[in-house]
């Protein structure tokens, strides 16, 4: 009923769109009793900044909070004026409605377990994205991967690397995003082992196997990373390239042709330390450390998590972690993804963050003192992830989106390391908050994959709060979570199929969704809104139907629930995995001491 009334409110508003009116935006998943609780009133087509008064009522109509003043919080995007409706004082679990003169009511829920099941739901998308044997299709996909290629695209040899996850709705696969996703999920299991249930087996089919489903999914990632790093001298980085984009096929019938026949082998790109791209475009690769560090971090944490449970695998992972880290030491610099026929690639420009995380995890695993010193030295080279506070950045330029290395260093460091790590996180958060004076408290740059930045900002704020007990960013952390679940100008959750019955993307850029319905990709976090200029300048974007969000796409950022918009409405694997950590942490705030 909650969701239904949200939907009806929105529909009623949309019918009136065009006139002067306002809408209330809320977190459709719900609010934690002790967390900040804010809904946002967004006015479109008028510019008054009058004080508004809101009231919160129980379902039986009894007023439990208010009338309270909501003060104007300025214009943002399509909202000519916003007001923050702060009902944090209400701490009793239950279902309520909030309304304000001229808008609402909107349904809200307060519950201690508001986020229960969220991480499990996100894992549906991860399983659906599996390459190799795929539990959604109950069939193998891309089983012939792949051919290792040289700088000119010539075949060096066949290498069995089937497995892992498709990166998004195309089927390219990258170690940068896959190793990061694997690390995020391992971290989720380490810190919050009970946040996810056990309803699926290792192969992703329904059925308990005595292992948390988030660990099952992490180990699916680890298995692929081991195939992509088969010997001490072969460090692979990418599987497939944008020749994939020639067809809109299901993964089971992918007819992409890389020159070896439709649906045959896909190219495997090694990290070479040199610029790559076999057609007209080249990346700006300078070394291997960005990828080597990510391999080492995931392997080291997996070795530690598995520990005595799987001694032989843990020993192999430890050795692989040490070798990958040594490769990164020997060849500092970035190993970027390779462009194909289009100029787009993941333009990662930092690698010290990756080596910092690797060194810190290797110290946790081995207790060899040099790793801790090296982690601290890397941390000093990039204290703040550079997109924080910036207005823009290149595609995946500063990746991973937040530096988990600082948290890893804080866990193992001495008092000075801990103070430094917390201070580095604080400065990054301050830089984002400095741009977040708007009604939605949004301070991230709206570049491609803005939702990834939103998730990472919230994650860094949560970790900072955990590290220091300092709650000064709590309102902004919660605003980022709320944004992802509906407190945004469009009033939509950014996760497909979640919450059930809520407003969420029904026409995502996905051929699986197109053929099987959007529920087939339940749990996928979409890219999220982008600057209008980005949407206008990307190649090949054309909306397929009338924009139901047109009244809200009048500002500096746009979002379209439209299959044709791959810039804002395409689910992303690595962002989904990042969100798994955040949701696990919000479900069980006290981290495990392991
Ligand atoms: Ca399981
Ligand atoms: Ca990096």
Q: Residues 506, 507, 511, 515: is their CA dihedral positive or negative?
A: positive
Q: What is the pLDDT of residue 133?
A: 97
CA distance 185 to 125: 13
**How far is the centre of ligand 1, averaged over its atoms, from the C-alpha of 114 (Å)?**
23
> Between β-strands 63-70 and 530-531, what pairing exists: parallel, antiparallel or unpaired?
unpaired
Q: Is the pLDDT of residue 137 over 70?
A: yes
Q: Is 396 helix (H, G, I), strand (E, B) or coil?
A: coil
**How far is the centre of ligand 1, averaged over its atoms, from the C-alpha of 184 (Å)?**
17
**How far is the centre of ligand 2, averaged over its atoms, from the C-alpha of 244 (Å)?**
25
Q: Which helix (H) or strand (E) holds 104?
A: strand 103-110
Angle at 364 between CA 197 and CA 325, to 5 degrees: 105
**How far is the centre of ligand 1, averaged over its atoms, from the C-alpha of 217 (Å)?**
9
Q: What is the pLDDT of residue 245?
A: 84
The predicted model gives 264-271 an average pLDDT of 97
Q: What is the pLDDT of residue 138?
A: 97
The predicted model gives 217-224 an average pLDDT of 98
**How far is the centre of ligand 2, averaged over its atoms, from the C-alpha of 436 (Å)?**
25
CA distance 229 to 161: 9
Of 4 and 479, the structure prediction assigns the larger pLDDT to 479
**How far is the centre of ligand 1, averaged over its atoms, from the C-alpha of 200 (Å)?**
4
Q: Give the number of the ligand closest to the Cα of residue 401.
A: 2
pLDDT tens per residue, range 315-333: 999 999 999 999 999 999 9
Backbone angles phi, psi at 100, to 5 degrees: -145, 150
Per-residue confidence at 13, pLDDT binned at 50, 70, 90? Answer: very low
Long-range contacts of 214-219 (CB under 8 A, 24+ apart): 214/119, 214/123, 214/185, 214/188, 214/189, 214/580, 214/584, 215/185, 215/186, 215/189, 215/305, 217/123, 217/126, 217/127, 217/185, 218/182, 218/185, 218/186, 218/189, 218/302, 218/305, 219/302
Q: What is the pLDDT of residue 585?
A: 97
Environment of ion ligand 2 (residues, CB < 5 A): 290, 350, 353-354
Q: Is the pLDDT of residue 428 over 80?
A: yes
* Percent of the chain scoring above 70 in pLDDT: 96
Q: Is the pLDDT of residue 201 over 60?
A: yes
Per-residue confidence at 15, pLDDT binned at 50, 70, 90? Answer: very low
Q: Which DSSP string do the residues of 263-288 spell out, in sequence order?
A: T---EEEEP-SS---SSS-------S
Q: What is the pLDDT of residue 47?
A: 66
* Beta bridge pairs of residue 557: 531
Tell which residue, 454, 488, 461, has the closest CA to residue 579: 454
Q: Is the pLDDT of residue 593 over 90?
A: no
Q: Give the number of the ligand closest to the Cα of residue 218.
A: 1
Q: What is the mean pLDDT of the chain?
A: 94
CA atoms within 13 Å, Cβ hemisphere of 220: 30
Environment of ion ligand 1 (residues, CB < 5 A): 198, 200, 209, 211, 213, 216
Backbone angles phi, psi at 269, to 5 degrees: -95, 125
**How far is the centre of ligand 1, averaged over its atoms, from the C-alpha of 196 (Å)?**
9
Per-residue confidence at 20, pLDDT binned at 50, 70, 90? Answer: low
Q: Give the number of the ligand closest to the Cα of residue 404.
A: 2
The predicted model gives 246-274 an average pLDDT of 93
Task: Tell me, yes or no, if the pTM score tops 0.75.
Answer: yes
Q: What is the pLDDT of residue 576?
A: 98
CA distance 378 to 19: 55
Q: Which residues contact 245 (CB under 8 A, 6 or more apart)?
A: 170, 342
Q: Give the number of the ligand closest to the Cα of residue 351.
A: 2
Q: Is the pLDDT of residue 77 over 60?
A: yes
Q: Which DSSP string do the residues of 107-120 spell out, in sequence order?
A: EEEE-TTTTTTHHH
**How far is the centre of ligand 2, averaged over its atoms, from the C-alpha of 454 (Å)?**
18
Q: Is 58 helix (H, G, I), strand (E, B) or coil?
A: strand
**How far is the centre of ligand 2, averaged over its atoms, from the C-alpha of 576 (Å)?**
18
Q: Is 579 helix (H, G, I), strand (E, B) or coil?
A: helix
* Percent of the chain scoring above 90 in pLDDT: 90
Q: Give the number of the ligand closest to the Cα of residue 196.
A: 1
Of 310 and 143, the structure prediction assigns the larger pLDDT to 143
Q: What is the pLDDT of residue 48?
A: 73
Q: Is the pLDDT of residue 8 over 60?
A: no
Per-residue confidence at 12, pLDDT binned at 50, 70, 90? Answer: very low
pLDDT tens per residue, range 85-123: 999 999 999 999 999 987 889 999 999 999 999 999 999
- Position of tokens 């990054």? 428
CA torsion 215-219-225-230 (nearest 10°) is 150
**How far is the centre of ligand 2, averaged over its atoms, from the C-alpha of 527 (Å)?**
20
**How far is the centre of ligand 2, averaged over its atoms, from the C-alpha of 353 (Å)?**
5
Based on C-alpha coordinates, what's the Rg of the chain?
23
Q: What six digits make up the tokens of 409?
A: 């260093």
Q: Give the number of the ligand closest to the Cα of residue 198.
A: 1
Q: Give the number of the ligand closest to the Cα of residue 290.
A: 2
Region of 449 on the Ramachandran plot (φ > 0 left; ψ -120 to 50 alpha; else beta): left
Q: What six digits make up the tokens of 371?
A: 């790793």
pLDDT tens per residue, range 563-577: 999 999 999 999 999
Q: Give the number of the ligand closest to the Cα of residue 346.
A: 2
The predicted model gives 188-195 an average pLDDT of 96
Q: What is the pLDDT of residue 424?
A: 98
Q: Is 470 helix (H, G, I), strand (E, B) or coil?
A: coil
**How far is the centre of ligand 2, averaged over its atoms, from the C-alpha of 398 (Å)?**
6
**How far is the centre of ligand 1, averaged over its atoms, from the C-alpha of 3 (Å)?**
30
Burial 291-307 (b: 16+ CB within 10 A, else e): bbbbbbbbbbbbbbbbe
Tell which residue, 588, 475, 471, has the closest CA to residue 36: 475
- Position of tokens 């995995």? 577
Per-residue confidence at 411, pLDDT binned at 50, 70, 90? Answer: very high
């Amino acid at each position: 009923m909650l969701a239904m009334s949200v939907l009806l409110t929105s529909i009623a508003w949309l019918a009136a769109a065009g006139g002067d009116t306002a809408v209330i935006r809320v977190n459709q998943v719900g609010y934690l009793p002790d967390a900040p609780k804010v809904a946002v009133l967004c006015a479109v087509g008028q510019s008054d900044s009058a004080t508004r008064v809101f009231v919160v009522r129980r379902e039986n109509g009894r007023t439990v909070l208010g009338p309270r003043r909501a003060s104007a919080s300025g214009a943002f995007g399509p909202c000519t004026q916003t007001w923050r409706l702060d009902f944090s004082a209400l701490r009793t679990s239950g279902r309520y409605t909030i309304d304000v003169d001229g808008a609402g009511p909107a349904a809200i829920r307060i519950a201690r377990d508001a986020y229960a099941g969220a991480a499990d739901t996100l894992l549906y998308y991860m399983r659906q994205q599996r390459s190799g044997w795929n539990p959604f299709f109950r069939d193998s996909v891309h089983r012939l991967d792949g051919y290792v290629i040289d700088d000119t695209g010539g075949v060096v040899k066949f290498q069995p690397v089937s497995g892992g996850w498709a990166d998004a709705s195309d089927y390219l696969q990258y170690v940068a995003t896959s190793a990061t996703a694997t690390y995020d999920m391992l971290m989720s299991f380490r810190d919050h082992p009970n946040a996810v249930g056990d309803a699926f087996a290792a192969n992703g089919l329904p059925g308990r196997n005595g292992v948390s489903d988030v660990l099952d999914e992490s180990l699916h990632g680890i298995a692929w990373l081991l195939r992509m790093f088969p010997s001490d001298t072969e460090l692979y980085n990418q599987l497939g390239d944008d020749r994939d984009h020639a067809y809109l096929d299901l993964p089971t019938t992918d007819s992409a042709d890389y020159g070896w026949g439709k649906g045959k082998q896909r190219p495997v790109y090694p990290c070479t330390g040199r610029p790559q791209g076999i057609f007209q475009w080249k990346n700006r690769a300078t070394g291997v450390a960005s990828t080597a560090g990510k391999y080492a971090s995931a392997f080291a944490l997996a070795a530690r998590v598995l520990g005595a449970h799987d001694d032989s695998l843990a020993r192999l992972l430890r050795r692989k972690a040490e070798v990958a880290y040594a490769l990164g030491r020997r060849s500092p610099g970035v190993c970027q993804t390779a462009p194909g026929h289009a100029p787009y690639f993941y333009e990662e420009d930092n690698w010290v963050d990756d080596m910092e995380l690797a060194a810190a995890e290797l110290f946790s695993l081995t207790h060899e003192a040099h790793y801790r010193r090296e982690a601290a030295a890397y941390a000093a080279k990039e204290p703040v992830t550079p997109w924080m506070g910036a207005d823009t950045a290149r595609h995946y330029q500063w990746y991973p989106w937040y530096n988990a290395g600082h948290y890893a260093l804080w866990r193992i460091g001495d008092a000075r390391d801990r103070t430094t790590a917390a201070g580095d996180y604080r400065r990054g958060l301050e830089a984002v908050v400095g741009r977040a004076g708007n009604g939605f408290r949004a301070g991230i740059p709206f570049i491609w994959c803005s939702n990834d930045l939103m998730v990472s900002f919230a994650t860094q704020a949560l970790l900072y709060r955990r590290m220091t007990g300092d709650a000064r960013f709590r309102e902004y952390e919660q605003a980022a979570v709320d944004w992802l679940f509906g407190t945004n100008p469009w009033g939509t959750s950014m996760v497909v199929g979640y919450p059930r019955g809520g407003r969420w993307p029904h026409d995502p850029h996905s051929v699986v969704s197109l053929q099987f319905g959007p529920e087939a990709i339940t749990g996928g976090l979409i890219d999220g809104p982008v600057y209008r200029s980005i949407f206008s300048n990307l190649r090949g974007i054309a909306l397929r139907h009338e924009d139901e969000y047109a009244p809200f796409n009048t500002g500096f950022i746009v979002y379209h629930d439209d299959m044709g918009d791959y810039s804002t409405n395409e689910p992303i694997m690595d962002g989904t995995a990042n969100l798994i950590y955040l949701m696990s942490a919000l479900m069980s705030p006290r981290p495990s001491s392991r």
